[in-house]
Amino acid sequence: MDKKLKNILKISLPLLLGVFLVWYSLSKVSIDELLEYAKNADYTWIVLGMFLGFLSHLSRAYRWRYQLEPMGYNVKFGNSVMAVFATYLINYTIPRAGEVARASILTNYEGVPFEKAFGTIVAERIADLIVMFGIIGITLFLQFDFIYQFLIEKFDPKKIIIVLVGGVFVLVLFLIFIKKSKSKIALKIRTFVNGLIEGALSIFKMKKKWAYIFHTLFIWGMYVLMFYVTTFSIAELDGITIGAVLIGFISASFSIAATNGGIGSYPLAIYAAFSIFGIPEDPSIAFGWIMWASQTLMIIIFGGLSLIYLPIYNRKKTSENV
């Protein structure tokens, strides 16, 4: 495939999917109904959720400095914060472009070589992925009986066993293939997995590894808490279980990768998760839109201000280098 066409598809397909999912979600709940939910929502909890999200971004910016210090770069906290917010904002336009921009900001204003700055971003994504798997594991442990009962009611137990056994068999064959094959795909997967392991182990080689681990847990703790407290803004979600919150959070987190910033996919992912627990469609989708809109608004405000203020904040240093 032509490289130019490939780049166009990378940008356009998530946007088109997002537009379709926005239309689909609004076909499930009308705009008038959404506005009614938004009008009656308790904004105390929405603002608190936004504040918790803000804290998680500050913590991410501070954690980043722990990775840069061993390489001899003591970056300004202000630059780190603005780079993080700029990342999220830019990712709403072109998927993954924010990470490139984030590394470029440090290169331009702090003199950190691009490849080193980008490498630290990849390493922190690995740490985040590990925590995400941990949240999934905890959720499966806490909700095992419920999930098991749900699957038994929805599917034939014999089919579930056959699928599980077949899945394990395929996984074992796949692992053997990846380990022994010399094909390009196998080599890429091996390199990727080795990179994940190396990146995870590198955390424990840091001088301030426990501070790094604390911030990683704090970031994700704020994410979950942000999601949970915002449910209090919708009266119909009163009494929602922690299981529904965790599964809703996991589903919503993965939806962000489907479209730019989760546009369209975020509310539907929450509805799909909440429906397992018998939570009605309207408040589920309304909550998804309120949750997505509040966090997006925060990103637009602080991301936009960051892009405007970055050259002003670094003006003195830039003029000294001229």
If you compute the radius of gyration of the chain from its CA atoms, what whole number of angstroms results? 22
In 3-state terms, what secondary structure has residue 177?
A: helix
Q: What is the pLDDT of residues 8-61, one digit of tens each?
A: 555 566 666 666 666 667 667 778 888 899 999 999 999 999 999 999 999 999
User: Is the CB of residue 203 less than 8 Å from the CB of residue 66?
Assistant: no
pLDDT score recorded for residue 287: 95
Domain that residue 193 falls in: 29-316
Place 179 in a pLDDT band, splitting at 50, 70 and 90.
Answer: confident
Residue bearing tokens 């637009």: 300
49 in a structural domain: yes
pTM, 2 dp: 0.82
Q: What is the pLDDT of residues 194-253, one digit of tens each?
A: 766 665 666 777 778 889 999 999 999 999 999 999 999 999 998 899 999 999 999 999
Q: What is the pLDDT of residues 95-119, one digit of tens each?
A: 677 888 898 999 989 988 888 888 8
**Which distant-in-sequence residues (6+ apart) come within 8 Å of 286 by Cβ?**
29, 33, 34, 37, 38, 234
Of 129, 123, 128, the residue nearest 70 (C-alpha) = 123
6 in a structural domain: no
23 in a structural domain: no
Q: What total number of domains does the chain contain?
A: 1
Report the C-alpha gap between 131 and 203 in whole angstroms.
13
Beta strands in the chain (DSSP E): none
Report CA-CA distances (Å) from 287 to 28, 43, 199, 252: 13, 12, 36, 12
Q: Which DSSP symbol is given to 113? A: -
8 in a structural domain: no
Q: What six digits make up the tokens of 301?
A: 């405000």
239 in a structural domain: yes
312 in a structural domain: yes
Report the C-alpha gap between 111 and 321 in whole angstroms.
11
Report the C-alpha gap between 185 and 177 in whole angstroms.
10
Cite the DSSP H helix spans in 276-322: 281-313, 315-321
In degrees and rounded to multiples of 5, residue 93 shows phi and psi of -100, -60
95 in a structural domain: yes
61-70, 161-170, 294-303: segment of lowest average pLDDT: 161-170
64 in a structural domain: yes
